[in-house]
Amino acid sequence: MMLLRLAWRNIWRNRRRSLIILTSVVVGLIAIVFIEAVVRGFMRQSLDNQLGTHTAHIQVHRMGYHDNPAIDRFIARPEVVDAALAADARIAASSRRVLATGLLSSARNSSGIMLVGIEPEREARVTIIQRSIVAGRNLGLEPREILISERMSRTLDVGLGDKVVAMSSTREGKVGSELFRVVGLFRTSIMEFDRVHAYIPHATAQSLIGAGAEAAEFAMVLHATTDLNAVRDSLRVVLGPEYEVQSYEDLIPTMAAMVELTERSMIIYYVILGLAMIFGIINTMMMSVYERIRELGVLKAVGMQDRMLFWMVLLEAAMLGTVGTSVGLVLGNALNAWIAVSGLNFSWFSEGLSSWGTGAIIYPVLDPLGSVRGGLLIVAMCVLAALQPALKAVRLHPMDAIRHL
């Protein structure tokens, strides 16, 4: 307790110098916590948008379909998969789809397309497409309705109510075609997705490509992503080797790895800040020791042990680091919480952000536990920076120190 009181008093002997160090720690922590939250928000939004537009948490295909998405590799008995998914309480919702590549044409232009045959009610519980509609409505009961992106409507020069023709290869190797009326326009945060995807009724898609009652894939979302691997492995056992069950980590491994790498590499920011602070802490503590050489000599002369002197100097650095880190973390997380309400508008980078699938507004994501771990690292580095000044204080000869001018 005596060492704590001495260390605290020593810190405030030179208020200006101590406040400069504290301010540098606080400002540095606020900047790091802010950058960390923005980067984490950027990566998580990119992943969430990928999952929300199409990928979902888990997909089921017939074995080999993912490598070669041909019509002859559709799921022949989709009711078997439906029953297996309905029996697992960890699955929140699932959607059955028919996928077909083809050509979408208007009177003025044409574009390559990925036709997605969906059951609108089920798809709305799995993806964000219905919530992404910016004009018109979702697919209804009519079999010849189509939902396209706002970007595609500009490419084809069509609007709500206009007619387009979709063409795709059939199971027999012929070209199937169908006339559709545009009933809605959607816009997502992923530019590449909007360029090629369009939605039509599930039964109409089956008829267009001659798929009968078969389905290309099932997509599902879980109540909790912590069950991701457990549900995937369970479905593999239940469905057997005829089916391939893949989580989003299997389907988009690069994106999943980037998010995980971002989460784990955040500590590097704190290391960089700590290294930058070390020089300031060393300078401050060395000056503090130099100014108190005579005092330290007297303390040693009256019997203060070297280890107590050593710990006193380390405690001064630890207190500076702890106070500065605590204030910086509180202010940094408060700033992030405030900004997270409305997000950061990067609309001037909207095209570039759309290619990443994040959207123009980035919402910082707080990780208080990660911030605390980073703060502890900063405190540890402050103590590390005080080792040299502490050793200098210990090595002082009492008589030489007392005579020091």
The torsion of the CA quartet 98, 146, 149, 194, rounded to 10 degrees, works out to: 20
Q: Where are the domains of the chain?
A: 2-50+265-402, 64-240
**DSSP string for residues in 28-90:** HHHHHHHHHHHHHHHHHHHHHHHIIIII-SEEEEETTTTTS--GGGSBS-HHHHHHHHHT-TT
- So what's the pLDDT on residue 405? 47
Beta-strand relationship, 163-169 and 133-136: unpaired
Decide: helix, strand or coil at residue 360.
coil
232, containing H or E segment: helix 228-239
Which two structure tokens, joined as six digits, stand for 78? 């989709």
C-alpha 401/C-alpha 403 separation (Å) is 5
- So what's the pLDDT on residue 369? 77
pLDDT per position in the chain (405 positions), as tens?
677 777 777 767 777 777 877 888 888 888 888 888 888 888 888 888 888 999 999 999 999 998 888 888 999 999 999 999 999 999 999 999 999 999 999 988 999 999 999 999 999 999 999 999 999 999 988 899 999 999 999 999 999 999 999 999 988 888 889 999 999 999 988 888 888 999 999 999 999 999 888 999 999 999 999 999 999 999 999 999 999 999 999 998 887 777 777 777 777 777 777 777 777 777 777 777 776 667 666 766 776 677 777 788 788 888 888 888 889 888 988 888 888 888 777 666 555 555 555 666 788 888 777 778 778 888 888 888 777 777 777 676 666 656 654
- So what's the pLDDT on residue 370? 76
- So what's the pLDDT on residue 145? 95
Alpha helix locations (H) across 292-367? 293-301, 306-342, 350-356
- So what's the pLDDT on residue 324? 85
Q: Is 91:184 a contact under the CB 8 Å cutoff?
A: no
Which two structure tokens, joined as six digits, stand for 90? 């960890």
